[in-house]
A = this chain, B = another copy of it.
């Protein structure tokens, strides 16, 4: 005689959702190396290294706290500290302790670092435009934006 199963079948994804998820998975897995190849070639920078420098270049004073930078780069502080060491050895960045509170460290873009971003940005942006925006309609782009905003919010609250 049939009896009730104790293990409940989980809610699986529909075929449609599964397709979407697999494509997102593929994009997440391949985008960094795809865009990174050119950055490596043009400026000997990885995807994340470029975005650290680019983030600094947008800040007033070209400076930012390590901990803020880590959040923005979606990375851990430890990884960022090692990464900053490498960039500092190349003279692209320097460290400065916050004079108002010694616990904070600012990463500051050097002139050479800024020059490298300015030199590298056009090619990189062109590649992003080609890959992402040249293929999307305005409607698709806005839907993509709101979908990503929600996903990012879900990640950020943790």
**A residues whose Cβ falls under 8 Å from a Cβ of B:** 10-13, 16-17, 19-21, 23-34, 48, 51, 73-75, 121-122, 125-126, 128-133, 135-136, 139-155, 158
Contacts and interface: CB of A to CB of B under 8 A. Distances in A.
Contacts of A73: 29
From DSSP, what is the main secondary structure of chain A's interface residues? helix
State the oligomeric state as a number of copies.
Answer: 2
Given A10-B125, A17-B132, 9 more contacts: A10-B122, A11-B129, A13-B133, A27-B28, A27-B152, A30-B152, A30-B155, A31-B155, A136-B147
A93 to B, nearest CB: 19
B141 A144 contact: no
Contact of A26 (B19, B74, B122, B135): B74
